[in-house]
Structure 1
Amino acid sequence: METRLVYLNPQQVQPDPKAVRHDPGDVAALAASIAAQGLLQPIGVVHMWGDTYRVVFGHRRLEAAKRLGLERIPCLLLEADPDELYVAQLVENLQRLDLNDLEQAEAMARLRQRVEREQPHLGAGELDELVGRQLGLSGRTVRRYLSLLELSPQVQALIRQGELTVTQAQHLLRIPNPVTRDEVAREAAEAGLSAAQIAQLAAFFAANPNLTLETALQALESGARPRRETPQPVEGKPERLVRIPLEEPEERVWEEEEVEGVPEAEEAADRARLRRIHSLDEMLDEVGRISRCFYEGDVERWAAADGQAPAKLRLLVRGLRATLEALERLFQEKGWSVA
């Protein structure tokens, strides 16, 4: 691909109707940054006809420049075939985090279709690996993103709006009933459930497909463990959750599960939430770590930097409150004094 730097009036540059990004979103902050510091990163364009160009990447920067009324902006004029341009567009957006998870999945699917047309002899896994190499990703990561397109339009809308992440969505796919899957997705978005909690709910429904969401949430809160075998239903008896005896090897299946295709830090965080505590001493250590997060100011810093802080902190309050109530019940049952 050949490129050269040119300076164009933003009005000469038309948007791409097939852009991988569906909506430029709010560009007010970007416009303010460009007004203060100038356009530091050129936008990519291709020549159409006369003095008309089409944007390849940098849609948000172009929109911000137009809103500011700039008359001249730096552009990279690209000369390449359509496939090369599409890959350049996708890679630039991925590297700049300009796409939400669903837009990334849709863009990868389009790129995969292009590759499949050119190389029809490749198998599914080989296609994923080739697409991944073009984007600097693993084939496994590509497959994880593509799996989002198997979800219902209602769940995809939550992903597009940023209310569910790819990590959370991949666990939803393990729920066999699509209606239940949608119910869990709505609950996750409204209650701020973590990917680890969704994984546990998915395990409950995989083991007990006839459970209601309310029953599964109660089981999650009580710490019940799922069992992979589905028990035979007994006519006339109410549904119940099957618990796994602690000595069974499958006890740790959900604690150690590898979450593929997600950033390492996020994967580690989910595994940390699933890690079991095996003694009162370990429990005291965990409580001490949580307390230090508050009195050392970590929680305030994290909350200031996290757009989903209210939902996550509400979830934390619910968890701490439930833990405290359970401890108080234990003291009452044992006749112990809290003082």
Structure 2
Amino acid sequence: MKMPIRQIIIGDRHRKDMGDLDALASSIADIGLLQPIGVAPDNRLIFGERRLRAFRDILGQTEIDVRIIDMPHIVVGENAENEVRKDFTTSERVAIAQAIVDEIGGRQGHRSDMKPRPNGDEVEGRTDAFAAKRAGFQGKRSYLDAKHVVENAEPEIVDAMDRKVLSISAARKATILPPERQREIVKSDAPRVDLERQFEAERRQEALREDPLLKCQTVTDAVMDIANTGMTADEFRAVAAPATVARLQRYALPAFRFLKGIVEVGHDQKRAG
């Protein structure tokens, strides 16, 4: 449906840099608005701020195509997660997940079927996992990585992720690079596998210069993610692509040496205690 732009409530948004809106407006003028923006029933903008601003501020339009997103309907699971995954881009699903978190927060003490049942310090983690599932992500980590991309990457990287030129994990790695390098690599039109290899190589170089405390957090998160999957090596080999198995094998030995040192130190400290 079409809606007067003046009726749409933008509210506070994480992204402040809108990127090249002139190019976006030119594309819309040439081929039209391929994907409507998303709004809640109360006219609150869920996704599509760049499209809205290009429509309003550059093209001078007063109406825009919108899609009404029934958040309670999604939160209670009345539509399947795979339908959300199919119908929306990755960045739009990030926005839907955040709207789910907001919906849950606004209903504390009300309908228990519209929120997870977390306790204490687990509230935030379980809410993220719940929102990730309802928004069609494979898991909490995939959602948090995509959210990080939306909030921190250059618009070109977000667009490449939405068009599946980059995977979520590759786009996440790209965020560590300077903005100009993000744009340069994406605009090279290299095949997806080459783009991901280049981001991986440059990310490793940037990681060497990271603050030691940030490195500690990165390592801790990675180990916890592996442990929380509950996957065995046999299960991994059975479902992973051969290229993925080969890539992991390249990193497995140094990772094993590191973890062996951590475990041995912990064992020695326990025995000494």
TM over 0.5: no
Give the structure-2-normalised TM-score.
0.41
Give the structure-1-normalised TM-score.
0.35
Q: RCO (CA 8 Å, sep 6+): is it higher in 1 or 2?
A: 2
Higher gyration radius (CA): 1
Indicate the structure with greater helix content: 2
